[in-house]
Amino acid sequence: MVQAASLFNQLLQHFPRTEFASLVKKHLAERAAKGFACWTQFVAMTFCQLAHADSLREICNGLACSEGKLVHLGIPNAPNKSTLSYANEHRPAALFEDLFYTALDRFREQQGMGARKAKFRFKNKLLSLDATTVSLCLDLFPWAKFRRAKGGVKAHVLLDHDDYLPSYVLITEARTSDVRVAQSLDLNAGSIVAFDRGYNDYQLFGKWTDREVFFVTRLKENAAYEVVESFLGPLPRHILADELIRFTGPQAAKHCPHVLRRVVVWDEVNQRAIVLLTNLLHFGAHHHRRHLQGPLGNRTVFQGPQTKPKSEEFCGHQPQRTPDSDLDGVDRHAAVEMVVPPLQGQVVLLQSGFHAAFEPVQLPGSTPLAGESLRHPASGPLGRTA
């Protein structure tokens, strides 16, 4: 016997109905409801995202086109436009916020993005901080005005390298400064944050050093500093210089009077020297190259001015890792792979159309359906920051 399940059905199985019902009861989301369940609203809005629907009409008509298959999704029939609109306006959004963090908690416990293949020698939490601008059409989103003829928003992401999932995501106006968002982060002492030169701010450096939050970034070319101490003797491979420095500029010395570390690394791939700045004084110089070359790849520390990605990069293709004897040698356990490990499983992209979400997938009868509900211990919602 061959079992069949739509891709949409497999996706919804990652949200157990009992767990969803408990959240509905907690927020009293169906109080005084007359038949339109929150699960139907959730299915309709999830379909909206998968099918790229732009209006209530497209959502309701798209679901109505597969009326006979809706029972497998747990809804009796397609919702009406007015009913769905009323539910979106009056039902508490906190229900779906808690649903998101509950699913994220379960996904982290199951290591959905895959466990890190190599362990670090240090026990510090490793994070990457970066931001990207998403362009928007001003005619459709007049509130997102960025420049005279361009609109957009900016996504600020703090990535945790224990499970390759974001610890913090903030969507702001495109004109919002990256440094302002970094200043608002409350990080635990002992964390290591890697970021690019867009976050160079002496006040931020001084603040994090006072709180024992470590950072690694690229030093600005016009930075004024004096060398306090230079490490002599044989240096590790690809390390050209290792020095302790102190900023001498008036504002820099005022906001960051601490002694920092300047490490010059030779980039074998691009045949250039890269100057790193960090407040990690107790790590060996090779650590700054090895364990940060993996998290940042060719994006942050090991990339110069930002350029427009090629079309292949937008489709999720990662550049192949260049062989490096220093990374592939006996001391490999101190390093990580050059690219983030791929997802374990299959990723399905629905470009457009309503029927794509209901295309059946044939599975062997002896194998459980993909997307089977995961066992999840009872726990409250995650905190908003890790």
Average pLDDT (142-168) is: 87
Rounded to an integer, what distance in angstroms lies between the CA atom of residue 341 and that of residue 318?
A: 10
Q: Dump pLDDT digits (tens) for 27-61.
A: 999 888 888 999 999 999 999 998 888 899 999 99
Query: Is 338 a residue whose pLDDT tops 80?
Result: no
Q: Dump pLDDT digits (tens) for 295-330.
A: 444 443 333 334 344 433 333 333 444 444 333 333
Region class of 290: left (phi > 0), else alpha (psi between -120 and 50), else beta = alpha
pLDDT of residue 22: 94
Rounded to an integer, what distance in angstroms lies between the CA atom of residue 201 and that of residue 204?
A: 5
Q: Give the confidence band of 143 by pLDDT, cuts at 50, 70, 90.
A: confident
Helix axes of 81-90 and 38-50: crossing angle, nearest 10 degrees = 100
Q: Dump pLDDT digits (tens) for 117-126.
A: 666 677 888 8
In order, the DSSP letters of 139-192 are TT-GGGEEETTEEEEEEEEEEETTTTEEEEEEEEETTS-HHHHHHH--PPTT-E
Average pLDDT (150-179) is: 89
pLDDT of residue 118: 62
Q: Does the pTM of the predicted model rise above 0.75? A: no
Sign of the torsion formed by the C-alpha atoms of 138, 144, 147 and 152: negative
In the chain, the amino acid numbered 244 is: L
**Selected residue with higher pLDDT from 275 and 380:** 275
Q: Give the confidence band of 349 by pLDDT, cuts at 50, 70, 90.
A: very low
Q: What is the percent of the chain where pLDDT is above 70?
A: 69
pLDDT of residue 93: 92
Rounded to an integer, what distance in angstroms lies between the CA atom of residue 365 and that of residue 44?
A: 29
**β-bridge mates for residue 127, sequence order:** 160, 193
Q: What is the percent of the chain where pLDDT is above 90?
A: 40
Region class of 364: left (phi > 0), else alpha (psi between -120 and 50), else beta = beta
Computed over every residue of the chain, the mean pLDDT equals 75
pLDDT of residue 216: 94
